[in-house]
Amino acid sequence: MKKVFSVIICISLTLTLCSCGRGLKRFEKTYSDVFDTISSVVAYDTDGDSFEKHCDELHKLLLKYNNLFDIYNSHDGITCLKDINEKAGKSPVKASPEIIDMLTFGKKAYKITGGTVNICMGSVLKIWHDYREEGTRVPEMSILKKAAEHCDISDLVIDEKNSTVYFADSEMSLDVGAIAKGYAAQKAKEFAQENLWSSALINLGGNIATFGIKPGGAQWTVQIENPDPRATQALTTMGVVDKSVVTSGDYQRFYEVDGKRYCHIIDPKTLMPADNFSSVSIICEDSAIADALSTALFVLPKDEGEGILNSIEGAKAIWVDKDYKIL
Ligand code: ADP
Ligand code: MG
């Protein structure tokens, strides 16, 4: 009797799941006003109105993170990273729990990557940013070395109890470019999974976070861009379940001097742009970790990157070398 009963429960559960999925349709929306890039969300929802309403909630969350993590502009009514960079060298600055949590993750990213991803490298990264914008010269090593004297992550003092941030070195500054999109994608995924949809793919400028499977039972498919400009096809296409896929590459943000390419990812050891690979993609559960790892493995030689990769459960990587060969 007990067995029959459990069989009936199983059948009715299956029916409920099927009827949930059957009514859902695929919708897609694109945003160009967050994280200085193109972002999109694909999700299964009951109808267009419901999808739009859900997207509004997600968009609000993305805008919040976009404004808080901004190092170039201030925003009314909030203390963002630009404000912190300007004031935290003088005295502790009150910061939102979101900033405290993200900076705490920044310290974790430093630890995981053996110092290769350092959010306190703002002084060095600003020099490269300005020279990249100008586009004609490479900075002198002497000015890079001087800036590198102000990148010690232990000078970033986070007081979780009082929710404040302080720089023990007044010339230090933060640049969270290596982790912000992945961190926000992870938070967006967690929020969407809890409140909006049972299955979705969120793409913040190439930082992809997915959850659930499609109503028909299929996995989300993610394409990895081919860094080879002559390529006519994606590097690879893969099915993923509850995974994030993040790529760091030298083919989107770079400049050239005397025929040599200088990309936007800087090796903290040499203070020069990383030059080992064309791209590195990470596949793992947590999008913030994937973002940090993709930057770190782009900088490091492959064997050192593999060591870091092995410390993260379930994480996988695809390296593409300078000759566009997949490793
Ligand atoms: P993208 O932002 O293009 O997706 P990444 O996630 O690799 O690429 O982050 C690159 C950005 O991170 C740079 O634009 C810069 O702001 C910052 N950055 C570059 N090198 C480092 C580094 N070694 N540690 C921390 N941040 C870095
Ligand atoms: Mg990154």
Q: What amino acid is encoded at 85 in this protein?
A: N
Q: Which residues form the pocket of ligand 1, taking CB atoms under 6 Å from any ligand atom?
A: 116-119, 121, 125, 175, 177-178, 181, 206, 248, 253, 264-266, 268, 291, 294-295, 299
The string of pLDDT tens digits covering residues 45-93 is: 999 999 999 999 999 999 999 999 999 999 999 999 999 999 999 999 9
pLDDT for residue 251: 82
Cα–Cα distance for residue pair 255/232, rounded to 1 Å:
23
Cα–Cα distance for residue pair 215/194, rounded to 1 Å:
17
> Which of 108, 125, 207 has most ligand 1 atoms within 8 Å of CB, for mutation?
125
Residues 202/210/277/309 CA torsion (nearest 10 deg): 140
Q: Which of 313, 6, 271 is nearest to 146 (CA)?
A: 271
110 Cα: distance to centroid of ligand 1 (angstroms):
13
Q: Which of 86, 105, 121 is nearest to 264 (CA)?
A: 121
Cα–Cα distance for residue pair 171/148, rounded to 1 Å:
10
> Which of 66, 175, 280 has most ligand 1 atoms within 8 Å of CB, for mutation?
175
Please give the C-alpha separations between residue 203 and each of 46, 108, 250, 317, in angstroms, as whole numbers. 21, 23, 19, 18
| Minimal-distance CA residue to ligand 1 atom 22 | 117
pLDDT for residue 325: 96
20 Cα: distance to centroid of ligand 2 (angstroms):
36
pLDDT for residue 22: 63
Cα–Cα distance for residue pair 86/308, rounded to 1 Å:
34
Give me Rg for the CA atoms of the chain. Answer: 22
pLDDT for residue 316: 97
295 Cα: distance to centroid of ligand 1 (angstroms):
6
The H-assigned helical ranges of 152-242 are 180-195
Cα–Cα distance for residue pair 302/294, rounded to 1 Å:
12
DSSP designation for 131: H
Both tokens of 163, joined, read: 């929710």
Cα–Cα distance for residue pair 210/4, rounded to 1 Å:
37
Both tokens of 40, joined, read: 């999109």
CA neighbours closer than 13 Å in the CB half-sphere of residue 117: 29
pLDDT for residue 12: 39
Q: pTM for the full model?
A: 0.92
Tell me whether residue 261 is exposed, middle or buried, using C-beta atoms within 10 angstroms of its C-beta: 0 to 12, 13 to 18, 19 or more. middle
173 Cα: distance to centroid of ligand 2 (angstroms):
18
Stretches where the chain sits below pLDDT 70 are 1-22
The H-assigned helical ranges of the chain are 2-22, 48-68, 81-87, 97-112, 122-134, 141-147, 180-195, 287-299, 302-310
